[in-house]
Copies of this chain bind each other. A is one copy, B any other.
Amino acid sequence: MTRAYLVTVALFALAFSFSYAYDPSPLQDFCVALNNSSDSVVFFNGKVCKDPKLATADDFYFAGLNIAGNTENILGANFTPAIIPGLNTLGLIVGRGDFAPNGQAPPHIHPRASETIVVLEGTLYVGFVTSNPDNRLFTKVLNKGDVFVIPIGLIHFAFNVGKTNAVVIYSQSSQNPGVVVIANTIFGSNPPINPDVLTNAFQLEKNVVEHLQKIF
């Protein structure tokens, strides 16, 4: 079983709620998404909503962010977004992240949202890197009660440098931030990127690139 597959599984809950949503200003009190899957029959820049007359409090409710996610995967981490149909059009999402010791959110970018991280338990080494040409690294080691901000579109990561599990509540400024995990996007794309591009770009031996493309 390839790493790419495992990472995909580990990220699927995260990605699932991010399919084909949108963030304009809400232009009615609410617009509860008919469903959060991508099994829609009509696609446009957003989601079909249910008749507002049929909306209920349950459409704005989610239970279970107190439950630890399973971190027994290649990342040693798990992300549980609060998938709530009522968030449709509201430009916001919240979720829980769990990190086993040495577990991590590998370097990634959210193309459509800034993010805040609130640490509930444990110790995380977090950071982001600015764009070219400076590529400055901003990092902090976060403990319980600490908050860190990740600006939209910048590469960032989190790494559990503590001896215990780490738990965070993350918030993002979009209902559909999207996630581009660098390593498996670069080395695990389907189909693979021409190895010549990557050997050149990353200054790696071709056999190393091909090895990475195999495992991701």
Contacts and interface: CB of A to CB of B under 8 A. Distances in A.
Interface residues of A, number: 132
A173 B43 contact: no
Interface string A75-103: 00000001010110111111000000010
A91 to B, nearest CB: 4
A92 B106 contact: no
How many copies the complex holds: the figure is 6
Contact of A61 (B21, B23, B148, B215): B148
Nearest to A188: B135
14 contacts: A20-B52, A26-B114, A45-B89, A57-B138, A90-B173, A92-B116, A94-B118, A111-B131, A134-B190, A135-B185, A135-B190, A136-B190, A183-B203, A203-B212
Please name the 4 residue pairs, one residue from A and one from B, whose CB atoms are nearest each other, closest first: A111-B153, A66-B145, A22-B27, A106-B201
